[in-house]
Amino acid sequence: MLMSASMPPVSEEFFNKLKEAHPPLRPTPNMSTMDEIMFDAGKQELIDWIEQYVGGSTVTGTLNRHAD
């Protein structure tokens, strides 16, 4: 299912709190599982995408949601 999404520009304060709450993961040999590494990598990818919109224009895009 495809869904359209839109949100207002992201404030710098919000973005800084987001980065503070979810710092980048630095993988090490003793990480628990590949799933945890991939999950954290996905969070970082989302944070990197949001960074483009700090104080900028409205975010728009299409979400690809899988029906369960």
pLDDT of 2 higher than 50: no
Per-residue confidence (pLDDT) for residue 51, from 0 to 100 = 83
Per-residue confidence (pLDDT) for residue 64, from 0 to 100 = 56
Domain range enclosing 57? 2-64
Per-residue confidence (pLDDT) for residue 58, from 0 to 100 = 55
* pLDDT tens profile 20-48: 998 887 777 777 788 888 888 888 888 88
pLDDT of 16 higher than 80: yes
Long-range CB contact pairs, 59-64, < 8 A, 24+: 59/5, 59/6, 59/7, 59/8, 59/9, 59/10, 60/4, 60/5, 60/6, 61/4, 61/5, 61/6, 62/2, 62/3, 62/4, 62/5, 63/2, 63/3, 63/4, 63/5, 64/1, 64/2
pTM of the model as a whole: 0.58
Tally of domains in the chain:
1
Per-residue confidence (pLDDT) for residue 28, from 0 to 100 = 74
